[in-house]
Amino acid sequence: MKIKFGTDGWRGIIAEDFTFANLRRVSAAVARYIKEEGKSEQGLVIGRDTRFLAEEFARTVAETMTAAGIKVYLTKEAMPTPVTAYSVLAKKAAGAVMLTASHNPPEYNGFKFIPDYAGPALPHITDRITALIPETADPVRGNQDLAEIFDPKPAYYDFLSRQVDLEKMKASGLRVVINPMHGAGIGYLEEVFAKLDLPASSQRNWRDPLFGGQMPEPKPALLEDLRQAILAGQGDLGLALDGDGDRFGIIDGTGAYILPNEVLALLARYLIEVRGLKGTIARTVSTTTLLDRIAARHGIPVIETPVGFKYQAQAMLEQQAFLAGEESGGLSIAGHIPEKDGILACLLMAEITAHYGKPLTAVLADIYMECGRLYTRRLDLKCTPEVKAKVLEKLATFAPSEIGGLKVTGAVKIDGSKFILEKGSWVLVRPSGTEALFRIYAEAETELELSKIQQSMAAKLGLGW
């Protein structure tokens, strides 16, 4: 079986392709990569989420690494992806392996390599690792003397305290409801609020490899219990994490779900106007241009990147991005690790709520008054492999003059096919890399125009709706 690293590592179905045998192969490749880089003595951090066989899979990675003479750092409990990433810096390690399928269904697991800069591996690194994967890798006897158990929380909490104004939160008396969705983030937000003596109640804060029978993805349809808790007066803010704690879900005091695009807008304005940060803002090609409007008001440039936080990390490391974010629910800020961190995102939304003393929807209303409102939506359209091939061929030369009744004023080919339209609207078409499916992202000043744009684009490409 050929193993391929996708946007965020290698993922597969447990016992079908994500097997112990294949895990040993990928682990052997990472061990060889670390040795070729001359970083064997620095060691490797191993993190895992709460899925089936998590401990056994982590042990298999550890055995492969220690048998190759590489020290490993393990935890007794599940560890969120951002905590695993920060532990690379704390331990001065050569990198980390994070075993997670993030927000995928419970039958999946995954393997993510995090290099020594504590962010997602860029393609040139994953390509090298892929090239080193052997056809087979037999079980080996690990060296227990090279395995160290550690507690990542104290160092991570100390690091977080430098990214978030905890005193501002404490003084506000903010009440929160926390929902880690049975994932690796269990206990992390709870402990922060406990240290601040702030009221915090929890939902789904125990390990369940089936994630309550649903995907551990913090989107509106899967956070109704959190919304109801807020509407029932149990808290002023609802905070959720996905399966590995790198993405967030936010529900404000009115019971409104705050979209990731809206979270980014709130954070951009706050970082610029309250914290006084300067530099650049990085967003993916599929993320709201409301960020561009906010940035333009302050003379701040915006970097548009392909989809995938690895490109956001690159902007943070090389182009002084003080905010990096994507519409799918990942973000980080200057001074933090160049990796998505849902725990950080939740605390920043708590800080913003405390600062303004009103619900996030009210702060958003202020932004709309200043910059105008934009509506954004992603539409997933399935098709046959034959139709996918025809659409891809058409997109290669596709140059419409109008879409949805709006004039096309420009095109962007960073990742997929994006068309800039008049009135601040745009539409982006991206094919799935794994199935016969196209994603049509669009943004417009009204919901009606948004629907017209997506319908028009689907019709022009011959995709059914």
pLDDT given for residue 8 in this prediction: 74
User: And the tokens for 195?
Assistant: 């240290």
Q: Which residue ranges form the domains of the chain, and what is each CATH number?
A: 10-152 (3.40.120.10), 161-253 (3.40.120.10), 260-340 (3.40.120.10), 375-461 (3.30.310.50)
Using alpha carbons only, what angle is made at residue 247 by residues 130 and 195, rounded to the nearest 5 degrees? Answer: 125
User: And the tokens for 220?
Assistant: 């509106």
Q: Please give the distance of CA 373 from its chain centroid, rounded to a whole number.
A: 25
pLDDT given for residue 435 in this prediction: 83
CB 217 within 8 A of CB 103: yes
Could you list the beta-strand ranges (E) of 137-186. Answer: 147-149, 176-179
Establish how many alpha carbons lie within 13 A of residue 161's alpha carbon, considering only the half-sphere containing its beta carbon.
13
pLDDT given for residue 1 in this prediction: 81
Give Dmax over CA atoms of the chain in angstroms: 68
Q: Please give the distance of CA 25 from its chain centroid, rounded to a whole number.
A: 26
Successive 10-residue mean pLDDT values, the chain, 465 residues: 81 96 97 95 97 97 97 97 98 98 95 96 93 92 95 97 96 97 98 97 97 96 98 98 98 98 98 96 98 97 95 94 96 97 98 98 98 95 93 94 96 95 96 88 97 96 80
pTM of the model: 0.95
pLDDT given for residue 112 in this prediction: 96
